[in-house]
Amino acid sequence: MTGERGATLADVAERAGVSPSTVSRTLRGLSTVSPQTRERVERAARELSFAISRSASSLVTGRTGRVAVLVPNLESWFLGAVLAGLAPELNSAGLDMLVYSVTTAEQRAQFFDRLPARRNADALLVVSFALSPQERERLDGLGMPLVFVSQHESGRASVYVDDAEAASRGTRHLLNLGHRRIAYIEPADDSGFAWSSRARLEGYRSALAQAGVSRDDALVRQVAQWQGSSLDAAVGRLLSLPEPPTAVFAETDDIAFRLLTVLRGANLTVPHRISVLGFDDHAMAEAWDLSTLAQPARGLGVAAAQLAHAVIQEPEADRQRHVVLPVELVPRGSTGPAPQP
What is the rounded CA–CA span in Å between residue 292 and residue 280? 7
Evaluate whether residue 116 is within a structural domain.
yes
Phi/psi zone of residue 174: left (φ > 0), alpha (ψ -120 to 50 degrees), beta? alpha
Residue 272 pLDDT > 90, yes or no?
yes
Contacts (Cβ under 8 Å, ≥6 apart) of 104: none
* One domain, residues 131 and 226: no
Helix (H, G, I), strand (E, B) or coil at 255: helix
Residue 280 pLDDT > 50, yes or no?
yes
Contacts (Cβ under 8 Å, ≥6 apart) of 110: none
Evaluate whether residue 341 is within a structural domain.
no
Residue 153 pLDDT > 90, yes or no?
no
* One domain, residues 309 and 242: no
For 298-332, give the DSSP string. HHHHHHHHHHHHHHHHSTTTTTT-EEEE--EEE--
**How many Cα atoms sit within 13 Å of 325 on the Cβ side?**
18
The pLDDT of 238-262, averaged and rounded, is: 95
Evaluate whether residue 338 is within a structural domain.
no
pTM of the model: 0.78
- Each residue's pLDDT tens digit, 284-330: 999 999 999 999 999 999 999 999 998 888 766 666 788 999 999 99
The pLDDT of 188-216, averaged and rounded, is: 88
Q: Does 258 or 311 have the greater pLDDT score?
A: 258
If pLDDT is split at 50, 70 and 90, which confidence band does 55 have?
very low
* One domain, residues 157 and 306: yes
Peptide bond into 133 cis (omega under 30): no
The amino acid at 219 = L
Residue 333 pLDDT > 50, yes or no?
yes
pLDDT of amino acid 59: 43
48: domain CATH number is: 1.10.260.40
* One domain, residues 146 and 180: no
What is the rounded end-to-end Cα distance, in angstroms, of the chain? Answer: 90
What is the rounded CA–CA span in Å between residue 16 and residue 4? 20
Helix (H, G, I), strand (E, B) or coil at 178: coil
167-200 burial code (b ≥16 CB/10 A, e <16): bbbbbbbbbebebbbbbbbbbeebbbbebbbebb
Evaluate whether residue 17 is within a structural domain.
yes
- Each residue's pLDDT tens digit, 7-19: 777 888 899 999 8
* One domain, residues 219 and 175: yes
Residue 42 pLDDT > 90, yes or no?
no
CB atoms within 10 A of CB 318: 19
Q: How many domains does the chain have?
A: 3
Residue 115 pLDDT > 50, yes or no?
yes
Residue-number span of the structural domain to which 50 is assigned: 2-61
* One domain, residues 290 and 193: yes
Evaluate whether residue 336 is within a structural domain.
no
Is residue 279 within 8 A of residue 252, CB to CB? The reply is yes
Evaluate whether residue 189 is within a structural domain.
yes
